[in-house]
A and B are shown apart, each in its own frame.
Chain A
Amino acid sequence: MKLKLLSICILAIILTRDVFPQTVSTTGNASVNLIRPLSITSLSGEINFGEIILTGAPTVQTLSPQQGRVFRVEGQPSRFTTVTFNSVNLSNSVWVITNGGSIGSLVFTPLVVHTAASASYENPVIVVSGNSYSLVSSAGTGLLYLWVGGNINIASSQPQGDYTGTFNITVSY
Protein backbone atom coordinates (compact mmCIF):
# COMPACT_ATOMS: atom_id res chain seq x y z
CA MET A 1 0.00 0.00 0.00
CA LYS A 2 2.68 2.35 0.99
CA LEU A 3 4.62 1.47 -2.10
CA LYS A 4 1.62 2.11 -4.24
CA LEU A 5 0.98 5.43 -2.63
CA LEU A 6 4.60 6.42 -3.12
CA SER A 7 4.47 5.49 -6.77
CA ILE A 8 1.37 7.59 -7.25
CA CYS A 9 3.06 10.56 -5.64
CA ILE A 10 6.16 10.26 -7.75
CA LEU A 11 4.08 9.99 -10.88
CA ALA A 12 2.07 13.02 -9.86
CA ILE A 13 5.20 15.07 -9.33
CA ILE A 14 6.57 14.15 -12.74
CA LEU A 15 3.33 14.92 -14.52
CA THR A 16 2.62 18.20 -12.78
CA ARG A 17 6.15 19.44 -13.36
CA ASP A 18 5.53 19.49 -17.09
CA VAL A 19 1.85 20.64 -16.97
CA PHE A 20 2.54 24.10 -15.41
CA PRO A 21 5.88 25.39 -16.95
CA GLN A 22 6.53 29.10 -16.20
CA THR A 23 7.53 31.08 -19.26
CA VAL A 24 7.02 34.77 -19.00
CA SER A 25 8.36 37.23 -21.50
CA THR A 26 8.15 40.94 -21.85
CA THR A 27 9.81 43.58 -23.99
CA GLY A 28 11.88 46.60 -23.12
CA ASN A 29 13.89 49.11 -25.06
CA ALA A 30 17.67 48.64 -25.15
CA SER A 31 19.71 51.63 -26.16
CA VAL A 32 23.15 53.12 -25.99
CA ASN A 33 24.43 56.57 -26.99
CA LEU A 34 27.78 56.42 -28.63
CA ILE A 35 29.51 59.73 -28.06
CA ARG A 36 32.20 60.87 -30.43
CA PRO A 37 35.40 61.20 -28.40
CA LEU A 38 36.68 64.67 -27.84
CA SER A 39 39.92 65.74 -29.50
CA ILE A 40 41.89 68.94 -29.81
CA THR A 41 44.45 69.51 -32.53
CA SER A 42 46.89 72.32 -33.07
CA LEU A 43 46.42 73.57 -36.62
CA SER A 44 48.62 76.56 -37.39
CA GLY A 45 50.32 79.65 -36.12
CA GLU A 46 52.44 80.15 -33.03
CA ILE A 47 52.43 82.19 -29.88
CA ASN A 48 55.55 84.16 -30.65
CA PHE A 49 55.88 87.83 -29.78
CA GLY A 50 59.09 88.10 -31.78
CA GLU A 51 61.87 90.52 -30.90
CA ILE A 52 61.11 93.38 -28.58
CA ILE A 53 63.77 96.02 -28.00
CA LEU A 54 64.10 97.06 -24.38
CA THR A 55 63.85 100.80 -23.92
CA GLY A 56 63.93 100.98 -20.14
CA ALA A 57 60.25 101.87 -19.98
CA PRO A 58 57.58 99.39 -18.91
CA THR A 59 55.39 98.17 -21.75
CA VAL A 60 52.59 95.74 -22.53
CA GLN A 61 52.96 93.66 -25.67
CA THR A 62 49.86 92.10 -27.22
CA LEU A 63 49.47 89.30 -29.71
CA SER A 64 45.97 89.12 -31.18
CA PRO A 65 44.31 85.69 -31.29
CA GLN A 66 44.09 86.01 -35.04
CA GLN A 67 47.89 86.19 -35.19
CA GLY A 68 48.41 83.52 -32.58
CA ARG A 69 47.79 79.79 -32.60
CA VAL A 70 44.71 77.98 -33.83
CA PHE A 71 43.29 74.76 -32.38
CA ARG A 72 40.43 72.65 -33.64
CA VAL A 73 38.19 70.79 -31.21
CA GLU A 74 36.19 67.85 -32.52
CA GLY A 75 33.50 66.02 -30.68
CA GLN A 76 29.83 65.16 -30.46
CA PRO A 77 27.64 67.64 -32.36
CA SER A 78 25.68 70.03 -30.12
CA ARG A 79 27.39 68.73 -27.02
CA PHE A 80 29.02 71.22 -24.73
CA THR A 81 32.72 71.15 -24.03
CA THR A 82 34.45 72.87 -21.15
CA VAL A 83 37.58 74.78 -22.10
CA THR A 84 40.28 75.28 -19.48
CA PHE A 85 43.55 77.22 -19.64
CA ASN A 86 45.79 79.35 -17.41
CA SER A 87 48.43 82.06 -17.52
CA VAL A 88 51.96 80.88 -18.25
CA ASN A 89 55.28 81.81 -16.64
CA LEU A 90 58.04 82.48 -19.19
CA SER A 91 61.70 82.34 -18.24
CA ASN A 92 64.99 83.30 -19.91
CA SER A 93 67.05 80.93 -17.74
CA VAL A 94 68.17 78.72 -20.63
CA TRP A 95 69.38 81.74 -22.58
CA VAL A 96 71.19 83.14 -19.51
CA ILE A 97 73.02 79.85 -18.96
CA THR A 98 74.51 80.17 -22.45
CA ASN A 99 74.95 83.92 -22.75
CA GLY A 100 75.16 85.25 -19.23
CA GLY A 101 73.18 88.06 -17.72
CA SER A 102 70.30 88.06 -15.27
CA ILE A 103 67.47 85.56 -15.02
CA GLY A 104 64.05 87.08 -15.39
CA SER A 105 60.46 85.96 -15.75
CA LEU A 106 57.42 87.15 -17.62
CA VAL A 107 53.76 86.23 -17.31
CA PHE A 108 51.86 85.38 -20.48
CA THR A 109 48.16 86.11 -20.02
CA PRO A 110 46.23 84.25 -22.72
CA LEU A 111 43.36 85.72 -24.70
CA VAL A 112 41.27 82.92 -26.22
CA VAL A 113 38.36 83.26 -28.63
CA HIS A 114 36.35 80.83 -30.68
CA THR A 115 34.81 81.05 -34.12
CA ALA A 116 32.40 78.11 -33.70
CA ALA A 117 32.78 75.75 -36.70
CA SER A 118 34.44 78.36 -38.91
CA ALA A 119 38.09 77.88 -39.75
CA SER A 120 38.22 81.56 -40.72
CA TYR A 121 38.62 84.30 -38.19
CA GLU A 122 35.04 85.53 -38.24
CA ASN A 123 32.87 86.88 -35.44
CA PRO A 124 35.19 85.75 -32.64
CA VAL A 125 33.65 85.10 -29.25
CA ILE A 126 35.69 85.38 -26.10
CA VAL A 127 36.33 82.10 -24.32
CA VAL A 128 36.46 82.17 -20.54
CA SER A 129 38.42 79.40 -18.88
CA GLY A 130 36.12 76.99 -17.12
CA ASN A 131 33.08 77.86 -19.23
CA SER A 132 31.38 75.49 -21.66
CA TYR A 133 30.79 76.02 -25.35
CA SER A 134 28.72 74.13 -27.86
CA LEU A 135 30.35 72.00 -30.51
CA VAL A 136 28.73 73.14 -33.73
CA SER A 137 27.64 70.42 -36.10
CA SER A 138 29.50 70.24 -39.38
CA ALA A 139 28.91 67.16 -41.55
CA GLY A 140 28.13 65.07 -38.52
CA THR A 141 31.06 66.26 -36.46
CA GLY A 142 30.89 68.80 -33.67
CA LEU A 143 33.55 71.48 -34.22
CA LEU A 144 34.94 74.41 -32.30
CA TYR A 145 37.88 76.50 -33.50
CA LEU A 146 39.91 78.13 -30.73
CA TRP A 147 42.28 81.02 -31.41
CA VAL A 148 44.92 81.88 -28.83
CA GLY A 149 46.74 85.17 -28.43
CA GLY A 150 47.51 87.15 -25.31
CA ASN A 151 49.76 89.73 -23.73
CA ILE A 152 52.89 90.09 -21.62
CA ASN A 153 53.92 92.87 -19.25
CA ILE A 154 57.55 93.94 -19.62
CA ALA A 155 59.03 95.74 -16.64
CA SER A 156 61.33 98.73 -16.96
CA SER A 157 64.29 96.71 -15.74
CA GLN A 158 63.37 93.45 -17.45
CA PRO A 159 66.49 91.37 -18.15
CA GLN A 160 67.26 90.69 -21.80
CA GLY A 161 67.15 87.27 -23.41
CA ASP A 162 64.91 84.66 -24.99
CA TYR A 163 61.93 83.83 -22.80
CA THR A 164 59.92 80.64 -23.27
CA GLY A 165 57.10 78.75 -21.56
CA THR A 166 54.38 76.23 -22.39
CA PHE A 167 50.71 77.09 -22.80
CA ASN A 168 48.24 74.25 -22.22
CA ILE A 169 44.58 74.14 -23.15
CA THR A 170 42.24 71.34 -22.08
CA VAL A 171 38.79 70.46 -23.31
CA SER A 172 36.36 68.10 -21.61
CA TYR A 173 32.79 66.90 -21.73
Chain B
Amino acid sequence: MMKCRYILFFLFLLLFVTTNSYAQHNPQASSIVRVSLVKGIQVNQISGNLDFGEIIQPTTQTTIRKSPDNGVVFLLNSHLNKNVSVQYSSSTLSNSGWVNGYGGSTASLTFNPEVVHTGSNSVFQNPIEIISGNSYTPPTSAGIASMNIWVGGSIEIIPNQPQGDYSGTFTITLTY
Protein backbone atom coordinates (compact mmCIF):
# COMPACT_ATOMS: atom_id res chain seq x y z
CA MET B 1 0.00 0.00 0.00
CA MET B 2 2.81 2.33 0.96
CA LYS B 3 4.65 1.39 -2.22
CA CYS B 4 1.53 2.23 -4.24
CA ARG B 5 1.30 5.62 -2.62
CA TYR B 6 4.91 6.37 -3.47
CA ILE B 7 4.27 5.41 -7.09
CA LEU B 8 1.22 7.65 -7.27
CA PHE B 9 3.13 10.52 -5.69
CA PHE B 10 5.95 10.10 -8.16
CA LEU B 11 3.55 10.06 -11.10
CA PHE B 12 1.80 13.18 -9.80
CA LEU B 13 5.12 14.95 -9.37
CA LEU B 14 6.12 13.97 -12.88
CA LEU B 15 2.87 15.36 -14.23
CA PHE B 16 3.40 18.65 -12.40
CA VAL B 17 6.92 19.06 -13.70
CA THR B 18 5.95 18.30 -17.29
CA THR B 19 3.00 20.72 -17.10
CA ASN B 20 5.28 23.56 -16.04
CA SER B 21 7.69 22.73 -18.83
CA TYR B 22 5.12 24.12 -21.34
CA ALA B 23 4.08 27.33 -19.50
CA GLN B 24 2.29 30.00 -21.56
CA HIS B 25 4.38 32.59 -23.38
CA ASN B 26 2.75 36.04 -23.50
CA PRO B 27 4.99 38.61 -25.17
CA GLN B 28 3.80 42.20 -25.07
CA ALA B 29 4.55 45.35 -26.99
CA SER B 30 3.79 48.96 -26.13
CA SER B 31 3.33 52.29 -27.82
CA ILE B 32 3.00 55.78 -26.44
CA VAL B 33 -0.26 57.51 -27.39
CA ARG B 34 -0.02 61.26 -27.85
CA VAL B 35 -2.33 64.16 -28.58
CA SER B 36 -1.75 67.90 -28.13
CA LEU B 37 -4.84 69.93 -27.39
CA VAL B 38 -4.17 73.51 -28.37
CA LYS B 39 -6.09 76.44 -26.95
CA GLY B 40 -7.97 78.16 -29.73
CA ILE B 41 -7.05 81.75 -30.60
CA GLN B 42 -9.32 84.29 -29.02
CA VAL B 43 -9.23 87.98 -29.90
CA ASN B 44 -11.45 90.65 -28.43
CA GLN B 45 -11.67 94.37 -28.95
CA ILE B 46 -10.84 95.99 -25.64
CA SER B 47 -11.16 99.69 -26.26
CA GLY B 48 -10.83 102.55 -28.73
CA ASN B 49 -11.88 102.97 -32.34
CA LEU B 50 -10.58 104.00 -35.75
CA ASP B 51 -12.70 107.10 -36.09
CA PHE B 52 -10.69 109.99 -37.50
CA GLY B 53 -13.50 112.38 -36.67
CA GLU B 54 -14.49 115.40 -38.72
CA ILE B 55 -11.97 116.83 -41.16
CA ILE B 56 -12.52 120.00 -43.09
CA GLN B 57 -11.94 119.29 -46.76
CA PRO B 58 -8.35 120.31 -47.36
CA THR B 59 -7.27 122.30 -50.34
CA THR B 60 -4.00 120.42 -50.58
CA GLN B 61 -3.11 116.76 -50.32
CA THR B 62 -3.19 115.88 -46.66
CA THR B 63 -2.33 112.83 -44.61
CA ILE B 64 -4.33 112.31 -41.48
CA ARG B 65 -2.77 109.97 -38.91
CA LYS B 66 -4.15 108.25 -35.88
CA SER B 67 -1.42 106.78 -33.68
CA PRO B 68 -1.90 103.20 -32.46
CA ASP B 69 -2.24 104.29 -28.85
CA ASN B 70 -5.19 106.45 -29.95
CA GLY B 71 -6.70 103.77 -32.11
CA VAL B 72 -8.34 100.48 -31.29
CA VAL B 73 -6.91 97.87 -28.92
CA PHE B 74 -7.37 94.13 -29.28
CA LEU B 75 -6.45 91.48 -26.73
CA LEU B 76 -5.21 88.18 -28.12
CA ASN B 77 -5.26 85.00 -26.00
CA SER B 78 -3.70 81.85 -27.36
CA HIS B 79 -1.85 78.64 -26.56
CA LEU B 80 1.35 78.82 -24.53
CA ASN B 81 4.58 79.17 -26.49
CA LYS B 82 2.89 78.91 -29.85
CA ASN B 83 3.51 81.25 -32.75
CA VAL B 84 0.62 83.28 -34.08
CA SER B 85 0.71 84.65 -37.60
CA VAL B 86 -0.77 88.14 -38.00
CA GLN B 87 -2.15 89.37 -41.29
CA TYR B 88 -3.85 92.63 -42.23
CA SER B 89 -4.00 94.97 -45.17
CA SER B 90 -5.15 98.44 -46.16
CA SER B 91 -8.85 99.12 -46.22
CA THR B 92 -10.97 101.03 -48.67
CA LEU B 93 -13.36 103.57 -47.23
CA SER B 94 -16.31 104.74 -49.30
CA ASN B 95 -18.88 107.54 -48.96
CA SER B 96 -21.44 105.78 -51.13
CA GLY B 97 -23.83 105.25 -48.24
CA TRP B 98 -23.80 108.93 -47.40
CA VAL B 99 -24.15 109.93 -51.06
CA ASN B 100 -27.20 107.69 -51.37
CA GLY B 101 -28.84 109.76 -48.67
CA TYR B 102 -27.60 113.22 -49.46
CA GLY B 103 -26.36 113.20 -53.01
CA GLY B 104 -22.99 114.27 -54.24
CA SER B 105 -20.09 112.34 -55.65
CA THR B 106 -19.09 108.85 -54.61
CA ALA B 107 -15.45 108.48 -53.77
CA SER B 108 -13.09 106.36 -51.77
CA LEU B 109 -10.20 106.75 -49.38
CA THR B 110 -7.50 104.29 -48.40
CA PHE B 111 -6.86 103.51 -44.77
CA ASN B 112 -3.27 102.36 -44.22
CA PRO B 113 -2.99 100.61 -40.86
CA GLU B 114 -0.17 100.84 -38.32
CA VAL B 115 -0.15 97.86 -36.03
CA VAL B 116 2.00 97.36 -32.93
CA HIS B 117 1.91 95.15 -29.85
CA THR B 118 2.92 95.62 -26.23
CA GLY B 119 3.03 91.96 -25.27
CA SER B 120 0.99 91.17 -22.19
CA ASN B 121 1.21 94.82 -21.08
CA SER B 122 -2.14 96.57 -21.30
CA VAL B 123 -0.37 99.92 -21.04
CA PHE B 124 1.08 101.45 -24.18
CA GLN B 125 4.77 100.99 -23.39
CA ASN B 126 7.64 99.90 -25.63
CA PRO B 127 5.45 99.07 -28.62
CA ILE B 128 6.79 96.61 -31.18
CA GLU B 129 5.79 96.87 -34.81
CA ILE B 130 3.70 94.03 -36.20
CA ILE B 131 4.44 93.31 -39.84
CA SER B 132 1.66 91.65 -41.74
CA GLY B 133 2.54 88.04 -42.54
CA ASN B 134 4.99 87.65 -39.68
CA SER B 135 4.55 85.40 -36.67
CA TYR B 136 4.75 86.38 -33.04
CA THR B 137 4.74 84.40 -29.79
CA PRO B 138 2.42 85.96 -27.24
CA PRO B 139 4.26 86.10 -23.93
CA THR B 140 3.10 84.01 -21.01
CA SER B 141 1.93 85.61 -17.84
CA ALA B 142 0.35 83.65 -14.99
CA GLY B 143 -0.01 80.64 -17.24
CA ILE B 144 -1.79 82.54 -19.99
CA ALA B 145 -0.38 83.57 -23.36
CA SER B 146 -1.67 87.01 -24.32
CA MET B 147 -0.78 89.96 -26.45
CA ASN B 148 -2.19 93.50 -26.65
CA ILE B 149 -2.47 94.67 -30.25
CA TRP B 150 -2.84 98.37 -30.96
CA VAL B 151 -4.10 99.59 -34.34
CA GLY B 152 -3.80 103.08 -35.69
CA GLY B 153 -3.14 104.26 -39.23
CA SER B 154 -3.38 107.04 -41.76
CA ILE B 155 -5.63 108.31 -44.50
CA GLU B 156 -4.51 110.35 -47.41
CA ILE B 157 -6.95 113.00 -48.59
CA ILE B 158 -6.51 114.51 -52.02
CA PRO B 159 -7.55 118.05 -52.91
CA ASN B 160 -11.26 118.27 -53.72
CA GLN B 161 -11.93 114.91 -52.14
CA PRO B 162 -15.73 114.53 -52.33
CA GLN B 163 -17.48 115.24 -49.07
CA GLY B 164 -19.40 112.77 -47.01
CA ASP B 165 -19.07 110.09 -44.38
CA TYR B 166 -16.54 107.51 -45.45
CA SER B 167 -16.53 104.08 -43.86
CA GLY B 168 -14.92 100.70 -44.37
CA THR B 169 -13.85 97.62 -42.47
CA PHE B 170 -10.39 96.89 -41.16
CA THR B 171 -9.68 93.19 -40.73
CA ILE B 172 -6.85 91.60 -38.81
CA THR B 173 -6.43 87.81 -39.07
CA LEU B 174 -4.63 85.67 -36.53
CA THR B 175 -3.71 82.06 -37.22
CA TYR B 176 -1.55 79.29 -35.83
Contact = CB atoms under 8 A, between A and B. Distances in A.
Contact of A51 (B26, B28, B29, B36): B36
B9 interface: no
A81 to B, nearest CB: 10
A160 interface: yes
Which of the listed residues B32, B36, B37 has the most CB atoms from chain A within 10 Å of its own CB?
B37
B25 interface: yes
B32 A171 contact: no
A27 interface: no
A55 interface: yes
A148 interface: yes
Interface in B117-146: 142-143
Interface stretch (A3-11, A41-49, A133-141): A41-49
Nearest to A159: B37
Nearest to B24: A172
Interface in A101-158: 101, 104, 106, 108, 148, 150, 152, 154, 158
Given A53-B176, A167-B31, A38 B25 contact: yes
B33 interface: yes
A34 B25 CA distance: 14
A52 B37 contact: yes
Contacts of B176: 51, 53
A99 interface: yes
A166 B27 contact: no
Size bin of chain B's contact surface: 20 to 34
A152 B33 CA distance: 11
A168 interface: yes
A42 B29 contact: yes
Q: Which applies to chain A's interface (DSSP): helix, strand, loop or mixed?
A: strand
Given A46-B34, A106-B35, A55 B40 contact: yes
Nearest to B144: A100
Contact of B24 (A50, A99, A158, A173): A173
B84 to A, nearest CB: 12
A78 interface: no
B54 to A, nearest CB: 42
Nearest to A68: B31
A169 B32 contact: no
Given A53-B176, A171-B27, A163 B40 contact: no
B35 A163 contact: yes
Interface of B: 24-40, 79-81, 142-143, 176
The 4 closest A-B pairs by CB, nearest first: A100-B143, A49-B35, A172-B26, A160-B39
Given A40-B27, A52-B35, A88-B33, 19 more contacts: A37-B25, A38-B25, A39-B27, A40-B28, A46-B31, A47-B31, A47-B32, A51-B38, A54-B37, A54-B40, A99-B143, A104-B37, A165-B33, A166-B31, A168-B29, A168-B30, A169-B28, A171-B27, A172-B25
